[in-house]
Chains A and B, each alone.
Chain A
């Protein structure tokens, strides 16, 4: 073969650039290889980045959940809400069993759910503060400072009422008065009257209740916020997901109830809207060098900021209003005295004054405002429907905000907030031991008995009728209503309670995140968990992070398939073109091939000749394409591909994807290209072997 191979190689190399056809085939191979290298590297990088995002944010390497579940685990939610999962009733057992496996580092309990939260609107916040002040007054007695604070707060409430009234008047101009509930108008009128506030001084709590019930709902800035949270052993979570960082506030202390907002969610849902819009203009336009004037979106935001000054005005009491007016007059060089007009002036933003106005807002106005509707340190009341359908609410203190390193702007990871497991169980409808105890006491006190359904009729209406008879109304002392203080006490008690690790672990969880020692053994470990679960009757369903991520996890997979299909189509086209071109090349060389046959070359030699040529062609241009592709990937690796939107932050595991190349990408590209070009040459090569030696005798031209 030595001699043959030498001459084949020599011919192939010599023929490489000899014809236009070869250059066309070469160009196709070059572009094809480049596409496969770049596309493959991009998708692999994205896959790895996304897996980092998913594994590093909530999923861990493997998720286990109850095999009884009707739905499939979807950590990022699915169409129409959360999947229907059965609970793992005794998580501690699962944890203990799984942690016996050598590759399992730890198992973190989890439950993901969502609830609608009415963010305290401006009045709620103001009333809450008033209530706190009054409680302080009742507890500690009057002091000059406290009374001044109460007075200021009262003025602030009246300011809000004035804004609401003027709002109502404006609306009356548009809508006929009949359309308004008379009651609403009356309530507003009453709350604005001097008489109401005199009464308020005498019995502040009663006054507050009226304001809370009748006035607060009228403020339209209250939003229903959908809060998605993962209930977990926060301590374990922080240790296991080391990409997590506290941004504001501090971590939830071990064993405490508490809530941590995802920073992204906090910024995008809870921040003052005017500030959000300014941030967005800065981030998406000014910082990227885009002009506000050229884009309808920032112009719309500016208009909204100018129209919706109420959310700012409502927050300011008299003193702060005066301060704001004074500061704005100075900063804007205006003599205008109306705050609304000044704010409109402030928000009259264009490319020239953006930075100045942004600075004025954050340095002069923002310190007077609550920038976030829920502050770190607030107690958040979350109401949710339990599994059994009744509404349960818990109070959890907000300890701070967190984010995952590299995913600061990823909306998918950034909308999942963190809550302690105990509160999660309360909301889920799972009875903690203390609740069971509480209910037992209540039942005793009320004289309730448990009656099964079969006997219910007899018990209620039968001759014995013990149920009705033994109810002792006297035990509920109506002269001692459950005061708000008592409620608050219980609330504070729960908040302060420290739960033991054992309490955290034993009980309900919806899933467990399994962190592995060696992530490469993922499939193996899933298998082991399944076997263990079968053996110990744990009834668990272990799934990889990719499966656990639901639709999101399949996204890159889908993108990969799309690329494969595209590559496939490109290569079918390439196949046809290469086939035709090689066919033409073979035809062009009939005379030469005939000559070779005549002077003693076998058919196999001719076959080798054509195939060697295409392989050399493929290797040469494929290598060039691979080099070019590598260059592009390296360049992109340095420059980075900016994420087009929040979603992609997650897939890119950061604001930019810096793709990298693996040897696998290059090898795959070369193998595909060589395979395709060889296949497309088989028929032309066969045709070439059929060239008769007598063709050498026929003269050319």
Chain B
């Protein structure tokens, strides 16, 4: 099976004034379709940087990042944008909904950018998606009228409405209480199983991690461990002790 995402010796350095701060130091990784992959590690370990590179919102200093077989280094801004629009879906830690738009309009937004569907199809698609996240009755609400969990569901609906191959989620539960966070992960998992969409999410929460079918552990910009979630969970528990 072809990996849907593959990274080879990826290095990412940020410049802070004259000092270059390494965020990733030679990461190689393969992600396969239908994966529900968790990237774990403490703050500053490079989780977000890794997600940004996979999500084509940032470029590597060196190394190869391939998404759906395309080398992102060779793509223009326009092509990268199209890749993000059509192949990727994003779920953000702080939800990132457009505050002036309603729930329906937020979910509709990527479809409008795609310009593929007519109004009726769009509406049906958006409602179907809202149905799946359980917010069909909130379609006309503004984001600020919703709870954190509801907002993240809207964000999930927005990420999935275009039927992307890969959904990237950067600490999707960090701003939620544990019960809600669990619900969100359950929802993501359910969607992963139902539609076969690949999910890659970062987290430092062991409970969240335990839902993943693979865990990559990062420390100081390097992968220190690739394991099954159960092992990872146990390891973390051991560390805490």
A contacts, CB < 8 Å to B: 2-4, 6-7, 10-11, 14-15, 18, 591-592, 595-603, 605, 692-694, 696-697, 699-700
Contact = CB atoms under 8 A, between A and B. Distances in A.
Contacts of B96: 591-592, 595, 598, 696
Contacts of A3: 111-115
27 contacts: A3-B111, A3-B112, A4-B115, A7-B109, A7-B113, A11-B98, A14-B100, A14-B101, A15-B100, A18-B100, A591-B96, A592-B96, A597-B57, A597-B81, A599-B84, A599-B85, A599-B113, A599-B159, A600-B86, A600-B113, A601-B81, A602-B78, A603-B77, A693-B57, A694-B58, A697-B51, A699-B93
Given A3-B115, A7-B109, A699-B93, A598 B100 contact: no
B109 to A, nearest CB: 6
Interface of B: 48, 51-52, 55, 57-58, 77-78, 81-82, 84-86, 89-90, 92-94, 96, 98-101, 105, 109-115, 158-159, 162, 170
A600 B112 contact: no
B81 A600 contact: yes
- Which of A14, A600, A601, A693 gathers the greatest number of chain B CB atoms within 10 Å? A600
- Which of B99, B100, B159 gathers the greatest number of chain A CB atoms within 10 Å? B100
A601 B113 contact: yes
A599 B101 contact: no
A289 to B, nearest CB: 55
Nearest to B174: A699
Contacts of B99: 18, 592
- Which of A603, A605, A693 gathers the greatest number of chain B CB atoms within 10 Å? A693
A696 B100 CA distance: 17
A119 B153 CA distance: 99
A4 B108 CA distance: 12
A365 B100 CA distance: 81
B85 A700 contact: no
A11 B101 contact: yes
A4 B58 CA distance: 25
A21 to B, nearest CB: 14
Nearest to A16: B100
Nearest to B48: A697
Contacts of A603: 77-78, 81
B84 A693 contact: yes
Contact of B90 (A11, A591, A599, A605): A599
Contacts of A10: 101, 105
Nearest to B80: A693
Nearest to A15: B100
A529 to B, nearest CB: 62
Contact of A4 (B113, B158, B159): B113
B103 to A, nearest CB: 14
A615 B218 CA distance: 48
Nearest to B108: A7
Contact of A600 (B52, B92, B94, B114): B114
Contact of A697 (B89, B111, B159, B170): B170
A598 B100 CA distance: 18
What 8 A-B pairs come out closest when comparing CB atoms? A600-B85, A14-B100, A693-B57, A3-B112, A595-B96, A3-B115, A7-B112, A694-B57
Contact of A2 (B78, B85, B92, B115): B115
Given A18-B100, A696-B90, A699-B93, 17 more contacts: A3-B111, A3-B114, A7-B112, A10-B105, A595-B92, A597-B57, A599-B113, A599-B158, A599-B159, A600-B82, A601-B85, A602-B78, A602-B81, A693-B57, A693-B81, A694-B58, A696-B96
